[in-house]
Amino acid sequence: MTLARNLRGVGGALPQILTLAVVLAANWAVFPDFFDLRLQDGRLFGSLVDVLNRGAPVAILSIGMTLVIATRGVDLSVGAVMAIAGAVAATLAADGQPIFLVIGAALAAGLACGLWNGFLVAVLDIQPIIATLILMVTGRGIAQLVTEGQIVTFTDPALAAVAASSAFGLPMPVVIAVALALVAALLVRATALGLMIEAIGVNRLASAYAGVDARGVLMAAYATSGVAAAVAGLVVTADIRGADANNAGLWLELDAILAVVIGGTSLFGGRFSILLSLVGALVIQALNTGILLSGYPPEMNLIVKAVVITVILVLQSPAVRRLATFLKRSDAP
């Protein structure tokens, strides 16, 4: 019984895994060394590792974004929140503050942003896209206010280690993304939060009538998104050892939303899977890395991206899936 259900769970993930496989295979086709890995100083190196490493910020964003989208919302502010968190961290680190304060302050800034969004959506009942658009615009300004428009660089090795060190042979951002995803998945699935998020996303009114604390759950979802964005902001700041308030996380909200959608969570809320959103983030990054490795002129980047996304769409569309089941069924005796 349980086995059957688990198998069905895997079956549900099939389109995403298939998509990832297709994109990776395409990368291999344009760049034969794509799967080469080598171990150096106890850390793995190779294009595949780059995909994981570079995909980490979007993957981290997609964790929070999944929850928000599952409540039938959307968080456009994550890119700006990344910039704020990065600006706070870099400024404090450049000031020589201890690392726990640096990281603590950045995460607190992210949490505050998330709670603000949650407040607008849950309490003031402002449409999520507009509510978070406000912070998307303002947030980047706030980040620049913190850095005074400059790229603030720092030398603190402890902060740099957030991106530069490694664990289990993998770059730290990957470890952080996976750990965060597991914690988040555990948080929502080992408690009833996941169920309530889904219930609210499907029918907020009915859920409220059933006694679900819709406001609290919404706040929790947006807060998670804020914190995740802060973590992503820390990662990119640590990576370039500086905070670029204007460009950090620019347009990454679109990538994060795309990752969630590729991961199979509907923009109309409801059923969600954090781990599949990670797969979605990997698909996007594998696509980006593939474009870089291919050596096509940069003018082609967007066209290639458009074509690949279209193919993914077709592959994952319910219509095509139905066709596939139909063909399979008519094959059977």
Partner 1 sequence: MDPTPALLEIRGLAKSFPGVKALDRVDFTLRAGEIHALLGENGAGKSTLIKVMTGVHRRDGGEVRLDGVAIDPADTADAQRHGIGTVYQEVNLLPNLTVAENLFLGRQPTRLGFVDGRRMRRDAAALLAEYGLAVDPDSVLGEHSVAVQQIVAIARAVDLSGKVLVLDEPTASLDAGEVQVLFQTVRRLAARGIGVVFVTHFLDQVFEICDRATVLRNGRLVGERRIAELSRLDLVTMMLGRELAEETMIRHRGTRTAAEPFLSLAGYGRRAFVQPLDLEIRPGEVVGVAGLLGSGRTETAKLVFGVKEADSGSATVDGRRVRIASPRAAAALGFGFCPEDRKTEGIVGDLGVRENIVLALQARRGWLRPIPRREAEAIAARFVRLLDIRTSDVDKPIRLLSGGNQQKALLARWLATEPRFLILDEPTRGIDVGAHAEIIRLIEKLCDDGLALMVISSEIDEIVAYSDRVVVMRDRAKVGELAGADVSVEGIVRAIAGEARP
Partner 2 sequence: MNARHLPLLATIGVFLVAYALATLQFPNMASTRVVANLLTDNAFVGVAAVGATFVILSGGIDLSVGAVIAFTGVFLAVTIRAGLDPIAAFVLVLAITTAFGAVMGAMIHQLETPPFIVTLAGMFFARGACFLLTTDSVPIDHPTFAAIASWSWKIPSGGRLTLVGVVMLVTFVIGAVVAHRTRFGTAVYALGGNRQSAELMGVPVGRTTVAIYALSGFLSGLAGIVFALYTSAGYSLSATGVELDTIAAVVIGGTLLTGGVGTVAGTFVGVLIQGLIQTYVIFDGTLSSWWTKIVIGALLFAFILMQRGLLAAAARRRENARAGARVAAA
Partner 3 sequence: EDKLTIGFSQIGSESGWRAAETSVSKIEAEKRGIDLKIADAQQKQENQIKAIRNFIAQGVDAIFVAPVVATGWDDVLAEAKDAEIPVVLLDRTIDTKDDSLYLTAVTSDTVHEGAVAGEWLAKTVGDKPCNIVELQGTVGSSPAINRKKGFDEAIASHANLKIIRSQTGDFTRTKGKEVMESFIKAENGGKNICAVYAHNDDMQIGAIQAIKEAGLKPGTDILMVSIDAVPDIFKAMSEGEANATVELTPNMAGPAFDVIAAYKKDGTMPPKWIQTESRLYLPDTAKEEYERRKGLGY
Q: Which residues bind partner 2 (CB under 8 A)?
A: 76, 124-130, 133-135, 137-145, 149, 245, 254, 257-258, 261-262, 266-268, 299-307, 309-310, 313-314, 316-320
Checking 312-321 for CB contacts under 8 A at 24+ apart, the result is 312/19, 312/23, 312/262, 312/283, 315/15, 315/18, 315/19, 315/22, 316/15, 316/16, 316/19, 316/262, 316/264, 321/15
Rounded to whole angstroms, the Cα distance separating 303 from 211 reads 48
Taking the complex as a whole, the smallest distance from the CB of residue 53 to partner 3 amounts, in Å, to: 8
Taking the complex as a whole, the smallest distance from the CB of residue 299 to partner 3 amounts, in Å, to: 6
Q: Does 138 bind partner 3 (CB under 8 A)?
A: no
Helix and strand totals (H; E) in the chain = 14, 6
The b-or-e profile of 152-187 (16+ CB within 10 A means b, else e) is bebebeebbebbeebeeebbbbbbbbbebbeebbee
Selection from partner 3, partner 1, partner 2, none that 203 binds (CB < 5 to 8 A by kind) is partner 1
Note whether 174 and 60 are within 8 A (CB).
Answer: no
In the complex with partner 3, the residue whose CB is nearer, 47 or 225, is 47
Note whether 60 and 232 are within 8 A (CB).
Answer: yes
Note whether 209 and 56 are within 8 A (CB).
Answer: no
Selection from partner 1, partner 2, partner 3, none that 212 binds (CB < 5 to 8 A by kind) is partner 1
Q: Does 127 bind partner 1 (CB under 8 A)?
A: no
| CA 295 vs CA 27, 30, 300: distances in Å | 12, 9, 10
Which secondary-structure segment (H or E) carries 167? strand 166-167
Taking the complex as a whole, the smallest distance from the CB of residue 304 to partner 3 amounts, in Å, to: 12
Q: Does 210 bind partner 1 (CB under 8 A)?
A: yes
Q: What part of residues 272-291 is at the interface with partner 3 (CB under 8 A)? A: 288-289
In the complex with partner 2, the residue whose CB is nearer, 122 or 180, is 122
Taking the complex as a whole, the smallest distance from the CB of residue 269 to partner 1 amounts, in Å, to: 8
Question: What are residue 152's phi and psi, to 5 degrees?
Answer: -85, 120
Taking the complex as a whole, the smallest distance from the CB of residue 115 to partner 1 amounts, in Å, to: 17
Taking the complex as a whole, the smallest distance from the CB of residue 318 to partner 2 amounts, in Å, to: 5
Selection from partner 1, partner 2, partner 3, none that 314 binds (CB < 5 to 8 A by kind) is partner 2
Q: Does 185 bind partner 1 (CB under 8 A)?
A: no
User: In the stretch 159-198, what mask flags binding to partner 3 with x, by CB under 8 A?
Assistant: -----x----------------------------------
